[in-house]
Amino acid sequence: MNCEHDHFEDLLECARVGSQVKDFTVEVFDPVEGAFGEVTLSDIQSRGKWTVLVFYPADFTFVCPTELADLAEKHEALEKLGAEVLSVSTDTKFVHMAWKTSERLLEKVRFKMASDPAGELSRYFDVWDPDSGLALRGTFLIDPDGLLVSSEVNFYNVGRNADELLRKLAANVHVREHPEQACPARWTPGQKTLLPGEELVGKVYESLND
């Protein structure tokens, strides 16, 4: 992917894990209100929320509605962790509305559906495919301070798992609240964490199994 583009003159580089995300504005279709609107990253941050961006290739396709339906099943749990969820594709808000209305798999979708028809946001998050003009399956977690803490990108033909998204958000929420700790593989809330330091070197097994 090519991070440099002409549309966001002030966004000269792609978003990188561990770096601040520049503010952005997207038009959305809100399924709850049945109306169009705008969402800005700065507004989400002002409310102390995490931002979950879920890019997908296109409305009225095949894997995409299964992913959004899966995401809808975890939406309430993601909200309880303090997240605002936005699905994003290069379709217009009008197409989002038509797709939400006609596709039965989307009946439970209550998160806002963002439009990126010029591919500006897709380029910034480096999921833009110039050959197709579509976005790859990218998932990004942005903390309430605007720091990008997680990035995952799949190709067109493999759908994602919202269970893992929920687990990753829970882990990132935990370490933000407890910065002295680290979460081991497959960590879920209530399990042991790690306390990095010289005492832990070569003793991770003992720490997790004492």
pLDDT for res 199: 94
Greatest pairwise CA separation for the chain in angstroms: 58
Q: pTM for this structure?
A: 0.93
Q: Of these residues, 3, 14, 64, 183, which one is catalytic?
A: 64
pLDDT for res 9: 45
182 within 8 A of 204, measured Cβ to Cβ: no
DSSP 104: G
pLDDT for res 13: 82
pLDDT in tens, the chain (210 residues): 456 444 444 444 899 999 999 999 999 999 999 999 999 999 999 999 999 999 999 999 999 999 999 999 999 999 999 999 999 999 999 999 999 999 999 999 999 999 999 999 999 999 999 999 999 999 999 999 999 999 999 999 999 999 999 999 999 999 999 999 999 999 999 999 999 999 999 999 999 998
To the query of whether residue 14 is one of the catalytic residues in this protein, the response is no
pLDDT for res 210: 86
Per DSSP, the three-state class of 21 is coil
**Residue-range domains of the chain with CATH:** 25-177 (3.40.30.10), 179-210 (no CATH)
**Tally of helices (H runs) and strands (E runs) in the chain:** 6, 9
Residue 23 CB neighbour total at 10 angstroms: 14
Question: 35 forms bridges with which residues in the sheet?
Answer: 30
Sign of CA dihedral 175, 142, 167, 77: positive
